[in-house]
A = this chain, B = another copy of it.
Amino acid sequence: MASKCKLTYFPVKALAEPIRWLLSYLDIEFEDYRFEREQWPSIKPSTPFGKVPVLEVDGKKLHQSVALSRYYGKKAGLAGKDEWEDLMIDIAVDTLNDFRQAIASWFYDPIDDSKLSKYEPLMKETVPYYLNKFEEHIKENGGYLANGKLSWGDIYFVAIIDYLNFMLQLDITEKHQYMTALRDKVVNIPKIKAWIAKRPETDC
Contact = CB atoms under 8 A, between A and B. Distances in A.
A84 B75 CA distance: 10
A63 B137 CA distance: 14
B49 A98 contact: yes
Contacts of A90: 64, 66-67, 70-71
Contacts of A66: 90, 94
Complex copy number for this chain: 2
Contacts of A86: 70-71, 74
Interface residues on A, range: 20 to 34
Interface in A3-34: none
A105 interface: yes
B111 A49 contact: no
A95 B67 CA distance: 10
A98 B67 CA distance: 13
Contact of A71 (B62, B70, B75, B87): B87
B114 A49 contact: no
A174 to B, nearest CB: 21
A62 B74 contact: no
Contact of A83 (B71, B105, B110, B111): B71
Nearest to A93: B67
B62 A91 contact: yes
A119 interface: no
A164 B72 CA distance: 31
A109 interface: yes
Contacts of A62: 87, 91
A83 B75 contact: yes
Nearest to A50: B129
A4 B117 CA distance: 43
A51 interface: yes
A101 interface: yes
Q: Which 10 pairs, one residue from A and one from B, show the smallest C-beta to C-beta distance?
A: A67-B90, A114-B114, A71-B87, A64-B94, A111-B114, A64-B91, A67-B91, A49-B95, A74-B83, A67-B94
